[in-house]
């Protein structure tokens, strides 16, 4: 009987110890009983598939699929799970040059449209045009891909090929085989508008050196006597918020530029110390202007330091981080939203222009640029 009691005591002690251990781990991981049951449900399902599915299974693929499903369930097009291949590609593409075909794409209503084609690139050589709609990448319909997957699918190692199925209005869908090349994207380009004392700066994206490049171009224009500035942010998909802030500090008056607010309520403020803007500013925007572009335009609009000309912008008012996981993969996750100086969140809505102008290039004339010049001259007239 003593031996039986001892065995029973040992068994009970083991159970209690196990339960205590589980309770400690649940506390460390922040799990309540419902989350603990969900974990049991998850691993139970995984184990059932491994033992009962008719063919062999790959544990890593099952876990990858589960993580991907979790991220997709958020319904956020900017949050995505990246397998080893996609994660490696993304890391390579942050270096400033990459293997690609030289096109800028817009994503709206589940459509992927080419909005511009860079000169001297595989896209131009193949005959791709602005307005073409990409239907498939390497045989996979774009309707089955998230925007990030489309981009990473088209980019790749220099010298490799990518197949695109393209729809052009009034024509049958056509297949293109393009060989990726190194694409160097100029970040900032400035010039004096011919026959005027107006300056023009085009910002293609907010890359690592954009702030420095903008300062240099702005100084050149000031030295040439510019009295007003047009900042062209059309088809600028955004980029680094730090570079955007560097640019903003050259044109936005003293005060708030943008606020980044996390789920917890934690807030990060970016401010300008510029006592007074040097000159009137007009910003050009379109449906392809997103993220950091909208931060700059929103700050200029809210502070009264600039007028926005064009059409409604894209409406990406969120911040993402890339989190590496433990298998050379990772996730890109939306972790915050940004707010303009007046407290506006433009996520999903975009920036409404002060002066609406739809693009027309009839006769080789950029109608939006002409409208920007007109508005800027009016601003200068009011200042005189």
User: 200-222, pLDDT tens digit by residue?
Assistant: 999 988 988 899 999 999 999 99
Residue 212, both tokens = 């420095």
Q: Which residues contact 299 (CB under 8 A, 6 or more apart)?
A: 248, 252, 256, 257, 258, 272, 305, 340, 341
Given a cut of 60, whether residue 94 has pLDDT beyond it is no
Q: What is the pTM of this model?
A: 0.71
Catalytic residues: 291, 302, 316
Residue 353, both tokens = 């222009």
Given a cut of 90, whether residue 95 has pLDDT beyond it is no
pLDDT tens-digit series, residues 117-160: 887 899 999 999 988 999 999 999 999 887 878 888 898 888 99
pLDDT tens-digit series, residues 244-257: 999 999 999 999 99
Single out the residue of 179, 183, 1, 164 nearest to residue 92, CA to CA.
183
* Span between the terminal Cα atoms of the chain, in Å: 106
pLDDT tens-digit series, residues 326-338: 888 999 999 999 9
Higher-scoring residue by pLDDT: 227, 31: 227
Q: Which residues contact 358 (CB under 8 A, 6 or more apart)?
A: 311, 367, 368
Supply the pLDDT for residue 288.
85
Query: Half-sphere exposure of residue 332, counting CA atoms within 13 Å on the CB side?
Result: 19
What residues are paired with 256 via a beta bridge?
271
**Distances, alpha carbon 50 to alpha carbons 59, 61, 63, 109, in Å:** 8, 11, 12, 38
Supply the pLDDT for residue 9.
63
């Amino acid at each position: 009987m003593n031996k039986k009691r001892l065995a029973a005591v040992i068994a009970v002690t083991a159970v209690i110890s196990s339960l205590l251990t589980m309770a400690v781990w649940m506390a460390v991981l922040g799990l309540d009983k419902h989350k603990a049951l969900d974990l049991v449900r998850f691993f139970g399902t995984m184990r059932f598939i491994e033992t009962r599915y008719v063919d062999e299974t790959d544990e890593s693929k099952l876990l990858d699929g589960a993580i991907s499903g979790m991220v997709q369930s958020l319904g956020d097009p900017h949050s995505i799970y990246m397998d080893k291949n996609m994660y490696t590609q993304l890391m390579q593409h942050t270096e400033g040059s990459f293997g690609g075909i030289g096109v800028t794409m817009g994503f709206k209503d589940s459509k992927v449209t080419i909005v511009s084609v860079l000169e001297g690139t595989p896209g131009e050589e193949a005959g791709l045009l602005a307005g073409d709609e990409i239907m498939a990448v390497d045989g996979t319909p774009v309707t089955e891909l998230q925007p990030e997957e489309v981009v990473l699918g088209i980019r790749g190692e220099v010298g490799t090929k990518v197949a695109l199925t393209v729809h052009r209005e009034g024509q049958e869908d056509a297949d293109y085989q393009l060989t990726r090349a190194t694409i160097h994207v100029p970040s900032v380009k400035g010039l004096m508008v011919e026959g005027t004392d107006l300056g023009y700066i085009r910002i293609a994206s907010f890359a690592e050196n954009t702030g420095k490049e903008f300062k240099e171009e702005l100084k050149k224009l000031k030295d040439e006597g510019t009295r007003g500035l047009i900042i062209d942010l059309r088809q600028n998909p955004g980029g680094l918020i730090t570079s955007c802030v560097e640019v903003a500090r050259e044109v936005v008056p003293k005060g708030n530029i943008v606020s980044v607010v996390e789920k917890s309520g934690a807030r990060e403020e970016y401010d300008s110390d510029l006592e007074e803007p040097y000159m009137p500013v007009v910003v050009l925007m379109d449906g392809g202007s997103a993220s950091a572009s909208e931060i700059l335009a929103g700050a200029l609009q809210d502070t009264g330091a600039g007028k926005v000309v064009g059409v409604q912008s894209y409406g990406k008012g969120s911040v993402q981080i890339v989190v590496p996981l433990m298998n050379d993969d990772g996730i890109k996750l939306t972790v915050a939203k940004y707010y303009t100086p007046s407290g506006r969140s433009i996520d999903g809505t975009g920036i409404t222009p002060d002066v609406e102008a739809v693009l027309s290039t009839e006769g080789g004339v950029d109608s939006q640029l002409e409208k920007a010049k007109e508005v800027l001259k009016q601003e200068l007239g009011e200042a005189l």
